[in-house]
Amino acid sequence: MTTQKEHNMCQNFFKLVLSLLAFLGAATHLHAQAPVITSAATIQGTVGQSFSYSITATESPTSFGAANLPAGVSLNPTTGVISGTPTTAGTYTINLTASIGIPSGTLVAWGGNDNGQTTVPAGLTRVTAIAGGGWHTAALKSDGTVVAWGDNQYGQTTVPTGLTGVTAIAGGVYHTVALKSDGTVVAWGSNANGQTTVPTGLTDVTAIAGGYGHTVALKRDGTVVAWGDNGNGQTTVPAGLTGVTAIAGGVYHTVALKSNGTVVAWGNAGYGQTTVPAGLTGVTAIAVGWYQTVALKGDGTVVAWGANADGQATVPAGLTGVTAIAGGYGHTVASKRDGTVVAWGVNKHGQTTVPAGLTGVTAIAGGVYHTVALKSDWTGTATATIVISKAPQTIEFADIGHPTFPADPIALSARASSGLGVTFSVVSGPATVSGSTLTLTGTGTVTVMASQSGNTDYLEASVNQTFTLTSVLETPVITSPTVVTAMDCEPFAYTITATGSPTYFDAAPLPDGLNIDHNTGVISGLPTTPGTYTINLTASIGIPSGTVVAWGNNANGQ
């Protein structure tokens, strides 16, 4: 138990330390702001053609990322160059990142460093929570393990071997506390007042806090358990206190936040630290310093009360947008929604001199003479659209040559540069196509097309070949008699005969009453007008070009 006299001596001791350490340097870690990606938001490419795009950003990034890249291209994470040969057409939304090399969960610490409390261990990353002790600092990693450094006079930085599954941490002046995922509590360091002797059977804990010589736990049912030094009533939880959502531990006092946004405090009230301002409501978070109490309201403003010798309870005018608060011996810290930090109160060790350019802060903690901030990943993000167009293709159509009619079927051959199948068709002329076989059906000009219809990655393409078909058959020679006699008004028949098996016959001009069958070459009918007629006979294979064929009644030569 600590008497009021001992309390006063303790207070004088810390004032002495402040004077002695005022000449020690403050440890700071400075970084620029997160990169801003400046490269083009829309990029064009083509299937099968070389592609290159560079991610550019401010702040000289040291690593880059790109997600959802088209097939065939890849990223060089060091240079930010995306390159390759796209194989699939489409529109791709790419998630780009540019980082200045500070991994997620990095700590920045400043202020007194006489025990190494602001010397963050090299390579410490993936931190999810931080806690400030008297002259030591603790960090919780994403894998559920704890790292602690600084003053270890009482073993407060000697993390128990095999401790895993931790979900929250808290720092007392000379001890450290961890909450495990199973709702149990582990504590180590000074146990002069029983502060590290966790009550037997304590489970279902959801939050923890540490004071000078006492420890506090919040249970799932909204009740509070406290143990350790009770010289000022700091572990005597008010009877009937329920509905608690957060707790904080000061040197000799304890504070609880209720679900209705009100605050309850008990323990030492020598500086008014347990005298909650009348009408204070809408509180969403609480913190304590050595002898001051701090509350964060839902509107982003801060209220502080208790010891104010160094201005630690004098909230800067106009401070808004606050998302987290913390307290030290004689200073108070707030982090804002924009990731910046504001600190006020004593600054003899630089604990309120926030490093220039510090942003991206997501959590803060205060020690006796130091301050700690947890930073998010210093990575700039952006989206870009890569449009990969279909590739053009060409067709190599093997030369058909100069066929004559008649001829055997011709095998057509063509190849598309895409490797896709080619189809053939007759555009015009006396020919037909089946698959890749061309069949000629007569004489004349023929145009044949080889085409490829394209697909999701290639454009359609086609190429034509045109040739003229000439007959290779010999000209028929007419062999039928050249002089024929007929009687007026008597039936007449005469057949044109010729060599070479003609397929078409003609005779003109015919006497009135006679007609010709062009297929058989038979001239027949009943002559009606006497006379001598000279008739031009023709026999041909096919219909001669430019001739006219007519049929039906020819009484008037029509």
Domain ranges of the chain: 42-101, 127-340, 392-471, 477-540
Contact 228, 253 (CB under 8 A): no
Number of residues in the chain: 558
List phi, psi (to 5°) of 494.
Answer: -150, 135
Q: Identify the pLDDT of residue 549.
A: 56
Interval 409-432 mean pLDDT: 97
Q: Is the pLDDT of residue 504 over 60?
A: yes
Most confident of 22-36, 179-193, 464-478, 526-540: 179-193
Q: How many CA atoms lie within 13 A of 354 on its CB side?
A: 20
The per-residue pLDDT for range 116-138, each reduced to its tens digit, is 999 999 989 888 899 999 999 99
At 62, the pLDDT band (50, 70, 90 cuts) reads confident
Confidence bin at 541 (pLDDT 50/70/90): confident
CA torsion 363-368-369-371 (nearest 10°) is 0
User: Regarding the domain with residue range 477-540, which homologous superfamily does it belong to in the CATH classification?
Assistant: Immunoglobulins (2.60.40.10)
Average pLDDT for residues 141-149, to the nearest whole number? 95
Angstrom distance (rounded) from CA 132 to CA 27: 15
Question: Which comes out higher in pLDDT, residue 31 or 109?
Answer: 109
CATH of domain 127-340: 2.130.10.30
Q: How confident is the model at residue 393 (pLDDT cuts 50, 70, 90)?
A: very high
Q: What is the pLDDT of residue 558?
A: 62
Q: Among 13-17, 142-146, 417-421, 486-490, which stretch is predicted with the lowest mean pLDDT?
A: 13-17
Whether the domain at 42-101 and the domain at 392-471 fall into the same CATH topology = yes
| pLDDT confidence bin for 101, thresholds 50/70/90 | low
Q: State how beta strands 379-389 and 42-46 pair.
A: parallel
* Closest to 303 in 3D by CA, of 339, 340, 269, 263: 263
Say yes or no to pLDDT of 509 above 90. Answer: yes
pLDDT number for residue 482: 87
- The predicted pLDDT at position 151 comes to 98
Give the pLDDT mean for 537-547.
68
What is the model's pLDDT at position 11? 37
Q: Show the tokens assigned to 54.
A: 């560079």
CATH of 42-101, one of 2.60.40.10, 1.20.140.10, 1.25.40.10, 3.30.300.130: 2.60.40.10
Smallest CA-to-CA distance from 359 within 343, 332, 377 is with 377
pLDDT (average), residues 253-265: 98
CA distance 22 to 16: 10
Q: Using DSSP, state whether 331 is helix, strand or coil.
A: strand
pLDDT in tens, 278-311: 999 999 999 999 999 999 999 999 999 999 999 9
Residues 81-88 have a mean pLDDT of: 96
Q: Which of 160-174, 452-466, 532-546 has the lowest mean pLDDT?
A: 532-546
Residue 22 has pLDDT above 50, yes or no: no
pTM score:
0.56
- 47: its two tokens: 């299937």
Q: Quick one: CATH architecture of 392-471?
A: Sandwich (2.60)
Q: Report the chain's mean pLDDT, rounded to a whole number.
A: 89
The pLDDT score that the predictor gives to residue 102 is 55
* Percent of the chain residues past pLDDT 90, beyond the cut: 75
Per-residue pLDDT of 406-418, as tens digits, reads 889 999 999 999 9
Calpha distance 535→389 (Å, rounded)? 70
